[in-house]
Structure 1
Amino acid sequence: MNNWLNCKKILCIRPDNMGDLLMTTPALRALKQTFNAQITVLTSSMAAGIASMIPEIDEVITFDVPWVKTSTASGQEAVTAVVNQLKQQQFDAAVTFTVYSQNPLPTVMLAYLAGIPLRLAYCRENPYQLLTNWVPDKEPYDIIRHQVRRDLDLVASVGAFTEDERLSLQLPDLWPQVAQKLQQLGVDIQKPWLVMHPGVSEPKREYPQERWAEAAQKAVNELGYQVLFTGSGSEQAMAASIQGLAGVGTFNVAGQFKLSEFATLIAQAPVVVSVNTGTVHIAAATNTPTVVLYALTNPQHTPWMVPSQVLSYSVPPQAQSKNEVIMHVSRYLNNTITEMPCADDIIAAVNALTRRNAAEQPVINLTGIKHFGV
């Protein structure tokens, strides 16, 4: 285990999306509490905004690595510059967090070149000197864990633990200004409303617009909700298209909120219906009941420790990833066709989550381990 007890400055590298960083927060808490350490996170521009709202993080370094899909890729000079920046910080240790389909070694190399003395990560092949603390990666060939459990198990290997395994998000009191914006958009905040979030970064995880519209119509007519279609500024046109199909009682609020305001909106919602994206993990961090339309790509990312209903469906063959690890999971875990949920399925899930007593609400998350043969 080396001498992690003396680590007071720890670099945590999570170079992908906002939802990935949120799922890492229990592991960050374990490191901070166990070692009484200052936590610096190196993350992408896509996740940097949410990082400022995570109380376990003391400092954020924003850097888009060229080996992770991001909106902006950094060149060779930028890589050299960030290595020099890390070297100047004189970290005691570095932890690289990954999903099982990622190769950790390019990211680990940043810490190695920066001279960080202790380096922890999962890796399938022997990393030799690149890692001082190597945890052989058995996923997904022998086991599959939820991403939160995967990250907690990683830091547990060096003696870091926490009793609080919930996702972490600390929001300022922004509800008055969020409520004012909703009223200006025509929403009656004194009447029931819910959030539907159709936007997703990858087409293979999309849910059809006409089905969103049908579900929204049913939520209005059968359950008595106003429906707010949320999304980023770039998703305004899509949200407007769905809202146009859905009609009376629905509102396009995409692009109207800063990230902190959007998280506040999610926190205030009685239930959120979303595709599998960062919104699901914001909802988990704010304890908001969630219906997730879950394209069967990575099974690790279901809602964590929050009342939820997971409505899964298969990804069409032509849209599936060419990553050989993900293809393996598709062959052995998702080897039957699961049809897309219909509007009635969504309404039934919403109804179940909003009408049951909190103590009776189903919590669906992959806290355990799945074993399967190859």
Structure 2
Amino acid sequence: MKKILVIKHDKIGDFVLTWPALYLLRKAMPEATIDVFVAPVVKSFAEACPYVDNTIIDSKDDADIAEQITKQNYDAVIVLLSEFRIYKILSKSNIPYKLVPKHNWYQYLYKHRASNEYLNSEGCWRGACMLVEHFLTHHGYAIPKLPDRFWDMSDRKEYWQQHYQKLTNEKLIFIHPGTGGSSGCVPVEKLVQLMINVDKLTQSPCHFILTFNGSELELAKEIQTLLANTSIKISLAKPLDRLIDFSESLVAADMFIAGSTGPLHIAGLHNVPTVGFYAGRRSTPHIRWGTLSEPSKRFAYTPPVGKRTGRNMALINFDQVSNEITDFLNKQS
């Protein structure tokens, strides 16, 4: 096995959660070439992944994609996002070993299948790892131990702290007030009160950085205005030209707070402490969509489970949130 293709062509947050699986491949097979098939929005992010050699972009031109894949003479393909469309593309290739997850009827069109049903107590990133672990075991490779941090940007941390104008002994706390849509928005007044409480209870000076995307700028400005007459230090994030620059810059954070899973997952790659607000559902999204930060650095909060309550973020006990995260911050050097 010298050349492997991994297929995961969906959102940025979903691709982030494949990094543990890609790490396992790279660590177990350091001499192999590992390519990924990704959506256009993920291109720069995939190229920055330390476990990836090359990318193939989903142009939606299936004939061209099939031709590109065939020319690469892959020894194996691991399909992390399985669709009938992908089966049709791969059926035109000469790849000897094709591994897919055991779901959907077209799994039976493949010779090699494996379960990616992770436990209810595990994050959904485990599903991709299960497929890769099956692949490695099948081919006689030992399964490596996962690291505490998947993206080591420690040599760039000081640079990004200077970018965000962090002062000595200051806690740089990023807050992303928007939401990707899977949860309800945290009310502005609740975020404002949370920031006031954290600033008051945290022993070190706090500098809050509001991050935003597109139309979320107005929301960030509203929060800044509401805190204008306080002593709280708050800044709007300086615009960065590329997503990959923003993603790298999160290494500067002492904590990242959001209700949007995409930015939370990116922060988790750096093992930054994350505070996530998730919908209250029986499917436990706060566990399924937990970040890749180590467990002691993950904080997840939900309103009561229910159709009427599950998306009402105002029902979260924000006093409890304030106390728990400031207690954590006060214990950090």
Q: Which TM bucket (shorter chain)?
A: 0.7 to 0.9
Aligned counterpart in structure 1 of residue 289 of structure 2, from 273, 298, 301: 301
In percent, how many aligned pairs have the same letter? 20
Given the superposition, is the C-alpha separation of residues 189 and 342 from structure 1 closer, same or farther in structure 2, using an over 3 Å criterion? Answer: farther
Letter of the 2:277 partner, please give it. L
Structure 2 counterpart of 1:40: 35
Could you give the per-residue CA deviations for residues 141-161 of structure 1, whole angstroms, max 9, x where no partner exists?
x86742222222111222152
Structure 1 contact 219–227 (Cα < 8 Å) conserved: no
Aligned counterpart in structure 1 of residue 329 of structure 2, from 340, 347, 354: 354
Aligned counterpart in structure 2 of residue 195 of structure 1, from 174, 179, 192: 174
Given the superposition, is the C-alpha separation of residues 114 and 246 from structure 1 closer, same or farther in structure 2, using an over 3 Å criterion? Answer: farther
Q: Is 1:17 paired with 2:8?
A: no
Structure 1 contact 174–261 (Cα < 8 Å) conserved: no
Given the superposition, is the C-alpha separation of residues 172 and 53 from structure 1 closer, same or farther in structure 2, using an over 3 Å criterion? Answer: farther
Structure 2 counterpart of 1:313: 303
Structure 2 contact 149–271 (Cα < 8 Å) conserved: no
Given the superposition, is the C-alpha separation of residues 222 and 305 from structure 1 closer, same or farther in structure 2, using an over 3 Å criterion? Answer: closer
Could you give the per-residue CA deviations for residues 283-330 of structure 1, whole angstroms, max 9, x where no partner exists?
2221211111122464422123521211123687489xxxxxxxxxxx
Secondary structure of the residue aligned to 1:313 is coil
Could you give the per-residue CA deviations for residues 134-176 of structure 1, whole angstroms, max 9, x where no partner exists?
125656xx86742222222111222152212545224385456
Q: Give the whole-Å Cα distance in 2 for the aligned partners of 1:33 and 1:179.
A: 30
Structure 1 counterpart of 2:265: 281
Structure 1 contact 194–270 (Cα < 8 Å) conserved: yes
Structure 2 counterpart of 1:57: 52
Q: Give the whole-Å Cα distance in 2 for the aligned partners of 1:171 and 1:233.
A: 26
**Length-normalised TM-score, structure 2:** 0.81
Offset at residue 217 of structure 1 (A): 2.4
Structure 2 counterpart of 1:204: 183
Aligned counterpart in structure 2 of residue 153 of structure 1, from 130, 133, 141: 130
Given the superposition, is the C-alpha separation of residues 269 and 125 from structure 1 closer, same or farther in structure 2, using an over 3 Å criterion? Answer: closer
Structure 1 counterpart of 2:62: 79
Structure 1 counterpart of 2:160: 178
Q: Give the whole-Å Cα distance in 2 for the aligned partners of 1:80 and 1:207.
A: 44
Unaligned 5+ residue runs, structure 1?
Answer: 1-6, 65-73, 320-333, 359-374
Given the superposition, is the C-alpha separation of residues 60 and 30 from structure 1 closer, same or farther in structure 2, using an over 3 Å criterion? Answer: same
Given the superposition, is the C-alpha separation of residues 347 and 19 from structure 1 closer, same or farther in structure 2, using an over 3 Å criterion? Answer: same
Aligned counterpart in structure 2 of residue 269 of structure 1, from 228, 249, 253: 253
Offset at residue 111 of structure 1 (A): 2.4
Q: Is 1:164 paired with 2:128?
A: no
Given the superposition, is the C-alpha separation of residues 128 and 208 from structure 1 closer, same or farther in structure 2, using an over 3 Å criterion? Answer: closer
1:200-349 → structure 2 map (5 Å cutoff)? 200-202=179-181, 204-223=183-202, 224-247=205-228, 248=230, 249-253=233-237, 255-256=239-240, 258-296=242-280, 298=285, 299-306=287-294, 307-313=297-303, 317=307, 340-349=315-324
Could you give the per-residue CA deviations for residues 12-47 of structure 1, whole angstroms, max 9, x where no partner exists?
111112222222122112223334421101112232
Q: Give the whole-Å Cα distance in 1 for the aligned partners of 2:109 and 2:147.
A: 29
Aligned length: 316
Structure 2 counterpart of 1:363: none
**Length-normalised TM-score, structure 1:** 0.73
Letter of the 1:267 partner, please give it. V
Could you give the per-residue CA deviations for residues 49-100 of structure 1, whole angstroms, max 9, x where no partner exists?
3222221100122226xxxxxxxxx4xxx222222211221211111114xx
Structure 2 contact 187–314 (Cα < 8 Å) conserved: no
Given the superposition, is the C-alpha separation of residues 61 and 345 from structure 1 closer, same or farther in structure 2, using an over 3 Å criterion? Answer: farther
Q: Give the whole-Å Cα distance in 1 for the aligned partners of 2:86 and 2:133.
A: 20
Structure 2 contact 6–77 (Cα < 8 Å) conserved: yes
Letter of the 2:299 partner, please give it. Q
Given the superposition, is the C-alpha separation of residues 128 and 277 from structure 1 closer, same or farther in structure 2, using an over 3 Å criterion? Answer: closer
User: Considering only aligned residues, what root-mean-square deviation do their CA atoms show, in Å?
Assistant: 3.3
Q: Give the whole-Å Cα distance in 2 for the aligned partners of 1:144 and 1:309.
A: 15
Secondary structure of the residue aligned to 2:18 is helix
Structure 2 counterpart of 1:70: none
Given the superposition, is the C-alpha separation of residues 132 and 234 from structure 1 closer, same or farther in structure 2, using an over 3 Å criterion? Answer: farther
Letter of the 1:10 partner, please give it. I
Unaligned 5+ residue runs, structure 2?
Answer: none
Structure 2 contact 66–90 (Cα < 8 Å) conserved: yes
Letter of the 1:92 partner, please give it. D
Which stretch shows the higher mean deviation, 298-307 or 83-92? 298-307
